[in-house]
Copies of this chain bind each other. A is one copy, B any other.
Amino acid sequence: MTYTAPVDDMRFVLEHLVGYDRLAALPGYEDVSDELVGAVLDEAAKFAGGVLAPLNVNGDRQGSKLENGVVRTPDGWRDAYKQFVAGGWNAVPFPVEFGGQGLPWTVQATLAEMWQAASLSFGLCPMLSQGAVEALLVHGSDEQKRIYLPKLIEGTWTGTMNLTEPQAGSDLGAVRTKAERNGDGTYRLYGQKIFITYGEHDLAENIIHMVLARTPDAPAGVKGISLFIAPKFLVQSDGSIGARNDLRCVSLEHKMGIHASPTAVMAYGDNDGALAYLVGEEGRGLEYMFTMMNNARLSVGLQGVAIAERAYQQARAYALQRVQGKGLNGKNAGPVAIIEHPDVRRMLVTMRAMTEASRALAIRAFAAFDGAHTTHDAACQAEVDFLTPIVKAWSTDIGVEVASLGVQVHGGMGFIEETGAAQHYRDARILPIYEGTNGIQANDLAFRKIVRDDGRAFAAWLASARNDVAALGALPGDDMSAIRDRVGEGLDLAERATAWMIATGKTDVWAASAGAVHYLRAIGLVAGGVEMARAAAAAARGLAQGSNAFLQRKLLTSRFFAEQLVPQAQSLYGPMSSAHTTLRAFETDAV
């Protein structure tokens, strides 16, 4: 149950699919190079594999516990977090002026995958802090930045996102938490929030809650919602920690997985109200929240990649050592390790192929994010907007599927908790749900990213994908032609499906929405295939220089992905376009 960060694959993606020249051309990232990044990744891999990964199993068993208002994380968690902060890992993608290390999000993405693979439960804590930092960087006042950012970036304080309420899950317009004006520019919050990740814990000196609430005279719905900072401990003007604020963790949820990550029910204003500070302007809370949410959605997509990688490594190790049954290839008549059985091999390569494709797509999205972030380039922004729901939904579905395959590779042992495969399967299941369910992602893709945009971002992506696939024509071999054919057919399908979605989304919202999940999956499979095709081209170029086991494996894996996974997209057009016919015909009580 060890974890070895796939540094070779990460470096391959950064060098060949993103390109250091492209990153280094962005303002502020001039120093980025393979050498620098390689050193960072190696250090991170040591920390993820050596410090975090060993905590994951006990984290699951022990869980975080609420006792007398205090949440205790599992044994070893506090020390690991201290090391995480001391290593500067919390500060990697943030501006130097607030103590950050100023590295691109594209590089941060590879590190984040490592933390999440080592332990999803641990990785959630810095992931949430990151959201708070982003919101303050973009929307906070200078004073708020000065007070909160250095500590949040350093990691001695952590951040949370407080959106959900019992009656307001996916529909944030229904938020009821009240924000009353104190008359001095500050506010007092009253209400209950649920599903607050790391809403209370013992890892940091202070917790900075970012809270959606409604001002008294605000209009109904989303326009009445504002974003507030509510620190657990009030911060004095010199930055030191003051009085305890009127907010508390009422209970922790009893979840199927990520047991070590405390999911809190938070009560604001049980007594005199929780002192809070408005971020930006009243009524724009949801808009600000979406600033962090887009980044957070990519990060959740990375969690899907991460749990897939971890489950793959675990299953592969088991399949290498478990001897059972005879080999089928003649030369091994005696019992063989199960990795020699064709179907076990199929499952393992499926796991790895899905993981590598989703990693490449997620990092591509982060590269577009870096472009948009630093240069406000409209094409980069359109690309990251288009890719975000795909990365979130497709990668997290992959996380669940790969974790399930991981259980299957183990046979009966996969169902026994001590083996560890079961934990990944349980942990992964939250990923298609939180940060906007995958159904919501599909609607986001269909309506906001495709229909509203008239398919322009898709068309730009498609043109570049067509080029990439056409370029394979110059390369010899069966592998290359198989990849070109299957991914090319996938692109045809994606184009046809998108035309249907644009036409339907304009005339029949219900029908478009009923087909949206199929549509997203089809685009995800094809987009993953495109990244693997680009990887195959890079691998082939490398192999022309001499033999290389990593590149040989990458080439075969790309072909495997093209032949085994991309064709699934073909069977989604019919279901996508016909779902509404029957679904709409059912009476509600016949569903």
A interface residue numbers (CB < 8 A to B): 164, 167, 169-171, 174, 194-195, 253-257, 316, 319-320, 323-326, 328-329, 335, 337, 339-349, 352, 400, 404, 407-408, 411-412, 414-418, 422, 425-426, 429-430, 432-434, 437-439, 442-443, 482, 486, 509-511, 513-514, 516-517, 549, 552-553, 556-557, 559-560, 563-564, 567-571, 574-575, 578-583, 585-588, 590-591
Q: Are B429 and A407 in contact (CB under 8 A)?
A: yes
Provide the residues of chain B in CB contact with A585, threshold 8 Å.
556
Q: A171-B324, A517-B346, A564-B579 are in contact. Are A253 and B553 (CB under 8 A)?
A: no
Cα A410 to Cα B579 in complex, Å, equals: 21
Q: Check A169–B411 contact: CB distance below 8 A.
A: yes
- Report whether A564 and B575 are in contact in the complex, using a CB–CB cutoff of 8 Å: yes
User: Beyond A513-B328, A583-B349, A588-B340, is A415–B433 a contact (Cβ under 8 Å)?
Assistant: yes
Query: In the assembly, what is the distance between CA of A256 and CA of B439, in Å?
Result: 27
Residue of B nearest to A442 (CB): B343
Copies of this chain, whole number: 2
**Residues from chain B with Cβ under 8 Å of A514 in the complex:** 342-343, 345-346
* Contact A510/B552 with A416-B253, A581-B563 known, Cβ cut-off 8 Å: no
Distance in angstroms between the alpha carbons of A582 and B560 in the assembled complex: 6
Q: Are A574 and B582 in contact (CB under 8 A)?
A: no
Whether A415 and B256, one on each chain, are in contact in the complex, defined by CB atoms closer than 8 angstroms, is yes
Nearest 8 Cβ contacts at the A-B interface: A571-B571, A342-B514, A256-B422, A343-B439, A342-B513, A560-B582, A553-B590, A563-B578
* A408 B564 Cβ-Cβ under 8 A: no
Please name all residues of chain B whose beta carbon is closer than 8 Å to the beta carbon of A513 when the two chains form the complex.
328, 341-343
Given the known interface contacts A328-B509, A344-B439, A433-B412, the answer about A582 and B559 at a Cβ–Cβ threshold of 8 Å is yes
Give chain B nearest CB distance to A67 CB in angstroms: 20
The CB with the most chain B CB atoms within 10 A, among A167, A411, A516, is that of A411
Q: How far is the CA of A329 from the CA of B586 in the complex (A)?
A: 14
What are the residues of chain B within 8 A of A574 when measuring CB–CB?
486, 563, 567
- A171-B335 in contact (CB<8A): yes
Can you report 27 residue pairs joining A to B where beta carbons are below 8 Å apart? A171-B324, A171-B326, A255-B417, A255-B422, A257-B415, A339-B588, A341-B439, A341-B513, A344-B439, A345-B583, A349-B586, A408-B433, A411-B433, A411-B437, A415-B429, A415-B430, A549-B590, A552-B590, A553-B590, A556-B586, A559-B582, A564-B575, A564-B578, A567-B574, A567-B575, A568-B568, A570-B570
Q: Which of B571, B579, B588 is A346 in contact with, Cβ under 8 Å? A: B579
Q: Which residue of B lies closest to A256 (CB)?
A: B422
Point out the residue from B316, B343, B414, B588 that lies within 8 Å of A516, measured CB to CB.
B343
Chain B residue with Cβ nearest A343: B439
Complex CA distance for A568 and B568, rounded to whole angstroms: 7
Docked-complex contact A416 and B169, CB < 8 angstroms: no
Complex CA gap A320/B167 in Å reads 15
Interface of A is mostly: helix
Decide: A342 and B580 in contact? CB cutoff 8 A.
yes
Q: Are A412 and B434 in contact (CB under 8 A)?
A: yes
The interface residues of chain B lying within 8 Å CB-to-CB of A407 are 429, 433
- Determine which of B324, B344, B579, B591 lies in contact with A316 in the assembled complex, contact meaning CB atoms within 8 Å: B591
Assembled-state Cα–Cα distance A388/B564 (Å) = 26
Given contacts A417-B254, A439-B344, contact A563 B590 (CB under 8 A): no
Known: A329-B510, A570-B570, A571-B570. A425 touches B429 (CB 8 A): yes
Is A553 a contact partner of B586 (Cβ separation < 8 A)? yes
How far, in Å, is A12 (CB) from chain B's closest CB? Answer: 15
B442 touches A324 (CB 8 A): no
A170-B408 CB under 8 A given contacts A416-B253, A429-B425: no
A477 to chain B, nearest CB (A): 12
B-chain residues with CB within 8 Å of residue A556 when the two chains form the complex: 582, 585-586, 590
A510 — which chain B residues lie within 8 A by C-beta? 328-329, 342
How many angstroms from the CA of A552 to the CA of B482 in the assembled complex?
45
Task: Give the complex CA separation of A254 and B417 in angstroms.
Answer: 6
Residue of B nearest to A563 (CB): B578
Residues of B within 8 A of A549 (CB): 587, 590
- Which of A415, A516, A552: most chain B Cβ within 10 A? A415
CB distance from A410 to the nearest CB of B (A): 8
